[in-house]
Homo-oligomer: A and B are copies of this chain.
């Protein structure tokens, strides 16, 4: 159950993993991460970068090395990782690899409100998304082939994970589209009827009322 970290933003983990090799200033960290292609794994937002770096420093996970000023450029503060930072990096990695916290992908949210649209439109939309997913797969494959000859497999693992998940998504979406489009999805008529007339099938109303009560939660 994901312990509360002094710096919670995953960008912090990315930063720690970058400066573990050598001291850097913030902008350089971001550049290095992009260079390693880690911007696939961590969202790099410029606004957050400096906030997170400041927080890491505040909690002594990184420390200021020097603050140089070249010409009239803005001041650049170089940071190095501390022992505490190294420990946090390792501990955080352990947590992320061993725990499976629930996440809330946007597509799942979309599926859960799918019924507000009609089945025909849903098929069209899903086809669009399927195409997008396929483009992503192609991109990821290209990236993998590009790097595979020179980069040790260890550092391509996330890409491989990504690919596996994207392929699973493609397969699942494909079969859903076929079920709706082919008319084999049970309850399709009720859905279409509801959408065309606005009538809510009787059993749903019932369900809606009752479920408020009956839902026993664990936790």
Contact = CB atoms under 8 A, between A and B. Distances in A.
Q: Describe A's contact surface by its main secondary structure.
A: helix
B117 A96 contact: no
A90 interface: yes
Nearest to A157: B111
A93 B129 CA distance: 13
A161 interface: yes
30 contacts: A14-B109, A17-B112, A17-B116, A21-B200, A28-B212, A34-B215, A34-B217, A35-B211, A35-B215, A40-B102, A40-B108, A41-B111, A93-B113, A93-B114, A94-B121, A96-B107, A96-B109, A97-B114, A97-B125, A100-B129, A105-B105, A108-B161, A111-B158, A112-B158, A114-B157, A115-B155, A151-B207, A152-B191, A154-B185, A157-B176
Interface residues of A, number: 91
A104 interface: yes
A59 to B, nearest CB: 18
Interface of A: 10, 13-14, 17, 20-21, 28, 31-32, 34-38, 40-43, 89-90, 92-117, 121-122, 125-126, 128-129, 132-133, 136, 150-155, 157-158, 160-162, 164-165, 167-169, 171-172, 176, 185-187, 190-191, 200-201, 203-204, 207-208, 211-215, 217
A152 to B, nearest CB: 4
A97 B10 contact: no
**Copies per assembly:** 2
Going nearest first, the 3 A-B pairs with the smallest beta carbon separation are A96-B110, A168-B168, A98-B125
A128 B126 CA distance: 35
A110 B93 contact: yes
Given A104-B41, A186-B152, A111 B161 contact: yes
